[in-house]
Chains A and B, each alone.
Chain A
Amino acid sequence: MEDLEKRVAELEDRVTMLGYRISVMENRDPVLEMQNVEKHFGGVHAIDNFSVKIEQGQIHGLIGPNGAGKTTIFNNITGIYAPDAGKILFRGYDITGSSPHRVAQLGIGRTFQNIRLFSNLSVMDNVIIASGMDATYNLAEAIFHNKNYRRREQHLQDKAMHLLEIVGLQDKANERASALPYGHQRKLEIARAMALEPKLLLLDEPAAGMNADESMELVDFVQEIRSRFKITILMIEHHMDVVSNLCDYCTVLNFGKTLAVGTPAEVKSNPEVIRAYLGGTE
């Protein structure tokens, strides 16, 4: 009788756990919501009252002239800075002021404007390090190489190889990351961010330094990643052709202030945006 009760309790536990998982999966909250976020450096308002809402599966562009505060927004989301005011919600969960590794563990992957790879490590290791959350073994297991350790390490290798195949770097798995050409380094950085299995991917100027052909290739690549992983993307980009081909919505910033929000076509014809970009005469 007692056994039965115990089993019932166990089953109940599992049902609630399952319910919780489903609620997480069916999370209807926007993937990212920023409410009136502000960040000052001394007297400079790097971001001023910035709000944005990004729904599941969207690609949202962040554009604006240099110094408009785009990267500051990224750094506020990823916890490098803590905002001075406002709130940042990730799938309904408040991440304002969380530390960078916590934000990454929750499922926000990012790339950097000036590529930051683990240069002296192999391409493979770059990706494996990022899937560190799957490496659930302890120190003793690592020293004695038990079954769990070997299984986990094998899994990490397979997963990294799979990601490298997707970005087309499988032949370079054992090369040093710094030996890759520029375009491949960008792709590796994206693969590394994807190894976190993020729900939201932040791309900081992925097309920087690319010519027209290369940026069109990048557009296809990002679209493929979006459809394959059902991921939401927020990207900073200067190339307007990349933005119009890729983004569902975009936000235009100037000196920390939001100038316009809308589809790329709407934004492009907005007179204020044109003035900010081309310089107004009035």
Chain B
Amino acid sequence: MIEFFNNINTGICSFLHINSYIQGVVVLLCINIIAILGMAVLTGFTRLFSFGNAGFMAIGAYTAAILIVRHNVNFLIAMIIGAAFAGFIAFLLGSLTLKLKGDYFLITCLGFGECVRVLFNYFKKLTGGSAGFPGIPNYSSMLFAVICAILAFFIAWRFIHSKYGRNLTSIRENELAAEAVGINAFRYKRLSFTFSAVYAGWAGALYAGYMMYIVPTNFALNKSIELITTTVIGGLGSLTGSVLGAMLVTLLPEVFRSLSNYRMLIYGFAVVLIIMFRPNGLYGYKEFSLKRTIAWFKKLFGGKAKAGKEEA
């Protein structure tokens, strides 16, 4: 099964002359897109901030890796179980903590993420501890990662544009009013939290297959913060904006490799600038639309186009 995907992938890549460096970047991009889509549903549409999503990525990654390496489970099934298990943990955690208001929820998530990392360090027999978990087969080929990202976007899009997304948005806009029109805010928040954890677990499982070797420090607080800032940069309330944010955050460091030491510094500046000038993120509450983009370009080049017409 793994060979099947990998062979097709090699075929496509040699046909399109895509070298392995670009393949790696694309896989990383797809992983980030999936994790950030989950974050967008939670933070962008429900306005719950979680600093624990790297923890869910770790759960997904380790579950999938352990199942594949130790129990010879098919990688597709292992990935699904990894994602589902992360969702299950989020469901339990959400049941306990989502009754808390605002900041308290954020703090519990922060604590949870750190707990996961420390526990994975501690249970050496199961996870290899801080020495890492080696020997994961390379199943995250570019083809497979792209298929996953498209599927993830499709599901998230349909989810957000159904009653589920509407109800989540209503909680973001005004929780009291949402309750007053019969929406069980707690249950919907928990759904949103679970959804984002499933996506994080999914991304984590892909990450394990891409790196072939995972260490708990891969999933430290920094990763969670990166996920949140990316969502804020992309747009709080826009799925396409989040994808754009993921592209910026994954691709720009690749382009500016020489500046990689200043990465976190540039992040900080970017977030401050965006909060100052576009407080709802690059896309805000809008989704990308071709029509609007064309209209925007027309406006930008409006003067030139008009002048051209007059000449003709």
B162 CB contacts on chain A under 8 angstroms: 137, 142-143, 149, 153
Interface-lining segment among B112-120, B177-185, B227-235: B177-185
Assuming the contacts A125-B166, A139-B159, asked whether A101 and B174 have C-beta atoms less than 8 A apart, the reply is no
A121 pairs with B155, CB closer than 8 A: no
B158 pairs with A104, CB closer than 8 A: no
Q: CB within 8 A of B178: which of A112, A129, A137, A153?
A: A129
A80 pairs with B176, CB closer than 8 A: yes
Q: For chain B, what secondary structure do more than half of its interface residues adopt (helix, strand, loop), or is it mixed?
A: helix
| Interface membership of A78, Cβ < 8 A | yes
Bound together, the chains give a CA A117 to CA B173 distance in angstroms of 8
Assuming the contacts A137-B163, A145-B158, asked whether A110 and B173 have C-beta atoms less than 8 A apart, the reply is no
Bound together, the chains give a CA A128 to CA B174 distance in angstroms of 15
B249 to chain A, nearest CB (A): 25
A121 pairs with B173, CB closer than 8 A: yes
Q: CB within 8 A of B180: which of A78, A128, A142, A145?
A: A78
A196 pairs with B173, CB closer than 8 A: no
A212 to chain B, nearest CB (A): 29
| Interface membership of B46, Cβ < 8 A | no
B237 CB contacts on chain A under 8 angstroms: 120
Bound together, the chains give a CA A100 to CA B179 distance in angstroms of 6
A195 CB contacts on chain B under 8 angstroms: 181
Residues in B142-189 with C-beta less than 8 Å from chain A:
155, 158-159, 162-164, 166-167, 169-170, 173-174, 176-185
Q: CB within 8 A of B179: which of A104, A119, A125, A128?
A: A104
How many chain-A residues does the 8 Å CB contact rule pick out?
34
| Interface membership of B213, Cβ < 8 A | no
Nearest residue, chain A, Cβ from B163: A135
A104 pairs with B155, CB closer than 8 A: no
Bound together, the chains give a CA A153 to CA B164 distance in angstroms of 12
Residues in A112-129 with C-beta less than 8 Å from chain B:
112, 116-121, 125, 128-129
Nearest residue, chain B, Cβ from A192: B181
A118 pairs with B180, CB closer than 8 A: no
Assuming the contacts A101-B183, A101-B184, A132-B163, asked whether A118 and B158 have C-beta atoms less than 8 A apart, the reply is no
In the A-B complex, the 6 residue pairs with the smallest Cβ-Cβ separation, listed nearest first, are A142-B162, A118-B173, A104-B182, A130-B181, A100-B179, A135-B163
Tell me the B residues contacting A by CB distance below 8 Å. Answer: 155, 158-159, 162-164, 166-167, 169-170, 173-174, 176-185, 237, 285
A–B Cβ pairs within 8 angstroms, 6 of them = A109-B180, A118-B174, A120-B173, A132-B163, A137-B163, A145-B158
A-B contact sample (13 more), CB < 8 A, given A100-B180, A132-B163, A142-B162 = A78-B180, A104-B179, A112-B176, A116-B180, A117-B174, A118-B178, A120-B173, A120-B285, A128-B166, A130-B182, A137-B163, A143-B155, A193-B180
